[in-house]
């Protein structure tokens, strides 16, 4: 495979930006009108995801291990997207779906590369696409042996903690095996859109999962305003490998949360409580005390001794929970943003740090911590920007504009 030619043409193609993605989908829906209903009505976010995933594939096409892992994972995850047969019954993605997408891709490259699109380059692209499509189909077939295409999850209870924040629990029809700190694609069937939400609890024996959502767009506002006990949601394969590698060492842990970015960090704290009871500090920031919507659960967690304490002799006190607000009438606790308070509680030189919050909060916290002497490689963050396919998020973590934990739309 002529990787240099593929990369060079990809770079030239990228100059077209969103126009190319629009053309790709317009072509796909002309080739296969029946594919239109598989995609959301508003294609704005999907367009960015397709481009970034394709870019990743092309730049790794000579790295067999990386390409195989990425494409097989993407194929396994694509099992949650269903096509339809002639009678309108749902069918899993098959080879013919990939042929449509491949034809639309080649037509789009031809359109935007103009005279640079030679028969030799066409053959390179066709071969690279076929390789990826085969890997995706193999990944899907292999995943079929270990996990369902998606989980159907019934809403067990819903609590509105504030006008714009709800906490709810679901019970999936099969055990959904995720790691603390990971996220799951979630669909409200009547909205036909998938968004990523992070479990707020360590995996439980009964399989129930708690989610925290702040109303910020159509999807999250629907959950906050309309979700009821007994509603059905769909869950896809768990993703994310940054926050979930919290156990890469046994150094003390500092968890810094803003808004509903608390969810994955609470899951991590619960897992620590159930495991070694490693010394952990959890700083949760809000503008006012009203923003601390999960205060009671966190106080209870801090008062629970680690499960392993009978062995290690360590008692309570493994978790130091520090709520902090920027202003609050008669507030007795810490004052300042989560980042400022975390720095004040330092130094954190030999500590693993996990940060999760809005883009601004994440940026501010990382800057404050690194200026105070925390080595950047000790800080773990994850991006679930809706315009980015999450397994690509680690690469984007260096670009803080992509963080949008509190902005599930």
> Smaller CB distance to ligand HEM: residue 132 or 256?
132
CB of 50: closest distance to ligand HEM in angstroms?
5
Nearest Cα to Cα of residue 102 among 72, 127, 82: 127
Task: Give me the helices (H) in 178-308, please.
Answer: 218-226, 262-274, 295-303
408 vs 196: CA distance, rounded Å: 7
- Reading the block at residue 31, the tokens are 């080739």
Which two three-digit tokens encode residue 255? 């968890």
Query: Which CB atom, from 133 or from 158, has the smaller least distance to ligand HEM?
Result: 133
How far apart are CB 53 and ligand HEM at their closest, in Å?
Answer: 4
Q: How far is the CB of 231 from ligand HEM (least distance, A)?
A: 19
Using the structure block, give the residue that is written with the tokens 């609890």.
201
**Hey, what's the torsion of the CAs at 146, 152, 155, 161, to 10 degrees?**
70
Q: Say which residues have a Cβ less than 8 Å from residue 51's Cβ, sequence separation at least 6.
A: 14, 20, 21
Closest CB to ligand HEM among 122 and 320?
122
Shorter beta-carbon distance to ligand HEM: residue 137 or 361: 137
Q: In whole angstroms, how close is the CB of 49 to ligand HEM at the nearest point?
A: 4
Q: Look up tokens 């730049």; give the residue.
A: 59
In terms of Cβ atoms closer than 10 Å to its own Cβ (0-12, 13-18, 19+), residue 139 is buried
CA 190 to chain centre: 22
| DSSP state string for 361-390 | HHHHHHHHHHHTT--GGGEE-----TTS-G
Nearer of residues 221 and 274 to ligand HEM, judged by Cβ = 221
To ligand HEM, the closest distance from the beta carbon of 46 in angstroms equals 4
Give least dist CB 56 to ligand HEM, A: 8
> Which residues, at least 6 apart from 269, have a Cβ–Cβ distance to it below 8 Å?
255, 280, 282, 298, 301, 319
* Smallest separation (angstroms) from ligand HEM to the CB of 21: 11
CB 65 to ligand HEM: min, Å: 18
Tokens describing residue 206: 């009964």
What's 306's DSSP letter? P
Secondary structure (3-state) at 70 = helix
The least CB distance from residue 191 to ligand HEM, in Å, is 10
Tokens at 73, concatenated: 């994972």
Q: Identify the CA nearest to 390 among candidates 10, 100, 45, 22.
A: 45
Tokens standing for 366?
A: 């990382």
Q: Which is nearer to ligand HEM, 38 or 106 (CB)?
A: 38
Q: Which residues bind ligand HEM (CB under 6 A)?
A: 35, 38-40, 46, 49-50, 53-54, 74, 78, 81, 93, 97-98, 100-101, 132-133, 136, 185, 193-194, 389
CA 203 centroid distance within chain: 17
Pick the closer one to ligand HEM by CB: 105 or 343.
105
- By the 8 A CB rule, do 296 and 167 touch? no
Terminal alpha carbon distance of the chain: 40
Least distance between ligand HEM and beta carbon 291 (Å): 28
| CB nearer to ligand HEM: pick between 216 and 319 | 216
- Shortest approach of ligand HEM to residue 28 CB, angstroms? 7
Measuring CA to CA, how many Å separate 22 from each of 42, 47, 51, 385?
Answer: 12, 7, 11, 20
**Which C-beta is closer to ligand HEM: that of 46 or that of 108?**
46
Q: Name which of 241 and 326 has its Cβ closer to ligand HEM.
A: 241
Beta carbon nearer to ligand HEM, 81 or 331: 81
């Amino acid at each position: 495979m002529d990787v240099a030619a593929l990369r060079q043409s990809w770079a030239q193609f990228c100059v077209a930006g969103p126009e190319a993605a629009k053309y790709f989908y317009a072509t796909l829906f002309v080739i296969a009108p029946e594919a239109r209903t598989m995609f959301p009505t508003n294609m704005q976010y999907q367009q960015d995801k397709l481009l970034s995933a394709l870019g990743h594939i092309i730049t790794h096409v000579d790295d067999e291990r990386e390409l195989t892992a990425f494409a097989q994972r993407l194929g396994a995850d694509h099992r949650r997207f269903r096509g339809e047969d002639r009678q309108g019954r749902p069918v899993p993605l098959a080879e013919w779906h990939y042929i449509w997408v491949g034809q639309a891709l080649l037509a789009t490259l031809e359109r935007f590369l103009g005279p640079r699109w030679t028969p030799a380059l066409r053959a390179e692209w066709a071969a690279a696409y076929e390789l990826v499509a085969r890997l995706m189909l193999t990944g899907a077939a292999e995943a079929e042996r270990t996990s369902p295409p998606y989980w159907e999850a019934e809403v067990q209870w819903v609590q509105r903690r504030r006008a714009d924040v709800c906490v709810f629990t679901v019970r999936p029809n099969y055990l959904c095996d995720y790691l603390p700190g990971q996220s799951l694609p979630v669909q409200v069937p009547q909205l036909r859109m998938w968004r990523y939400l992070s479990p707020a609890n360590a995996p439980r024996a009964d399989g129930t999962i708690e989610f925290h959502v702040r109303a910020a767009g159509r999807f999250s506002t629907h959950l906050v305003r309309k979700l009821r006990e007994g509603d059905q949601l769909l869950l896809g394969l768990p993703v994310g490998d940054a926050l979930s590698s919290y156990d890469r060492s046994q150094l003390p842990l500092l968890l810094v949360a803003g808004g509903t970015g608390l969810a994955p960090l609470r899951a991590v704290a619960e897992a620590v409580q159930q495991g070694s009871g490693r010394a952990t500090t959890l700083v949760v920031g809000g503008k006012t005390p009203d923003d601390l919507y999960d205060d009671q659960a966190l106080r209870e967690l801090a008062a629970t001794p680690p499960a392993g304490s009978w062995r290690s002799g360590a008692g309570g006190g493994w978790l130091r929970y520090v709520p902090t607000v920027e202003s609050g009438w008669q507030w007795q606790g810490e004052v300042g943003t989560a980042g400022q308070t975390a720095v004040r509680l330092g130094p954190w030189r030999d500590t693993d740090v996990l940060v999760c919050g809005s883009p601004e909060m994440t940026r501010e916290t990382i800057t404050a911590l690194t200026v105070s002497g925390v080595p950047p490689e000790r800080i773990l963050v994850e991006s679930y920007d809706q315009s980015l396919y999450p397994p690509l998020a680690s690469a984007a973590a260096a670009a803080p504009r992509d963080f949008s934990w509190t902005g599930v739309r």
